[in-house]
């Protein structure tokens, strides 16, 4: 569930960025008294996410605008279908249009790409996860969209979980030392440890790791690593996994596959506002 106050604050900042001192074009072409109704139309097959953000953009400029959604977040919609409509002061609708669409196209794009990855591994044990490779200040929206796409979000921030990565290990001196320190200071939290070679797996698990992350392993290397772990802890794969290879990685036996592309490379969904 999105935090309404956080959404309103983000939308207000986006409107301020776009509006500046005023919408010059709308102010000189649209009568102040005019009213309008607009439909949000899907131009492609997509997974819906972020409808409340679009609504917040329109209602920020016209609090009395009537919002009539036809879609719920997580739904699959097809080209030519209406996600929802908004009715209110014409100037407000036109001024808010770009901000509303920018957010909605992005979140639907993330959810749509996520669902493609989720569908690609259906029938395997692997679950798709996102990463912290998100757009600054939009992480809460992007991770919400990932959930709407059917994936399992990873930690939302550095304060949410312990994940020992390669640079922690380099500074600590070894996988074993970094893991021992992490476990000692974890205060009961699970510790996930990134490994770059199969040989590091036993060091991590013996030092107390609760999960291992296989970084940039090939599919064949993942099979070997999963066999080496032998079910002692869950296994996550990360690095270089594409839509055309994710099924192969999933069939190699990991529990999770982390895909940064879900948030950093998702194409915007094609959605338009069509004024009646």
The residues carrying an active-site annotation are: 98, 133, 165, 194, 215
Residue 125 is given by DSSP the state S
Contact of 27 with 61, CB cutoff 8 Å: no
Q: At 243, is the secondary structure helix, strand, or coil? A: coil
Cα–Cα distance measured from residue 180 to residue 183, given in angstroms and rounded to the nearest whole number: 5
Specify the DSSP element, H or E, that contains 127: strand 127-129
Specify the DSSP element, H or E, that contains 151: none
Contact of 274 with 38, CB cutoff 8 Å: yes
Cα–Cα distance measured from residue 15 to residue 97, given in angstroms and rounded to the nearest whole number: 10
93: how many CB neighbours lie within 10 A of its CB? 26
Decide: residue 276, CB within 10 A, 0-12 exposed, 13-18 middle, 19+ buried. exposed
């Amino acid at each position: 569930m999105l935090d309404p106050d956080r959404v309103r604050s983000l939308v207000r900042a986006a409107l301020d960025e776009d509006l500046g001192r005023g919408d010059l074009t709308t102010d000189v072409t649209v009568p102040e008294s005019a009213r309008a109704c607009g439909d949000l139309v899907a131009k492609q097959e997509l997974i819906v996410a972020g409808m409340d953000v679009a609504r917040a953009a329109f209602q920020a400029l016209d609090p009395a605008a009537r919002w009539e959604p036809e879609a719920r977040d997580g739904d699959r919609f097809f080209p030519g279908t209406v996600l929802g409509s908004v009715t209110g002061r014409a100037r407000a609708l036109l001024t808010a249009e770009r901000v509303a669409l920018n957010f909605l196209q992005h979140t639907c794009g993330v959810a749509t790409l996520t669902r493609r990855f989720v569908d690609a591994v259906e029938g395997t044990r692997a679950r798709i996860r996102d990463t912290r490779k998100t757009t600054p200040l939009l992480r809460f929206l992007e991770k919400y969209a990932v959930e709407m796409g059917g994936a399992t979000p990873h930690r939302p921030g550095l304060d949410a979980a312990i994940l020992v990565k390669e640079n922690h290990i380099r500074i600590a001196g070894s996988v074993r030392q970094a893991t021992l320190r992490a476990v000692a200071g974890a205060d009961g939290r699970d510790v996930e440890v990134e490994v770059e070679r199969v040989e590091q797996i036993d060091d991590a698990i013996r030092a107390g790791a609760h999960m291992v992350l296989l970084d940039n392993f090939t599919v064949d290397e993942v099979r070997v690593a999963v066999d080496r772990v032998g079910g002692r802890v869950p296994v996550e794969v990360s690095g270089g996994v594409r839509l055309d290879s994710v099924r192969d990685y999933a069939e190699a036996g990991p529990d999770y596959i982390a895909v940064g592309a879900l948030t950093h490379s998702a194409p915007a969904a094609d959605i338009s506002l069509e004024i009646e």
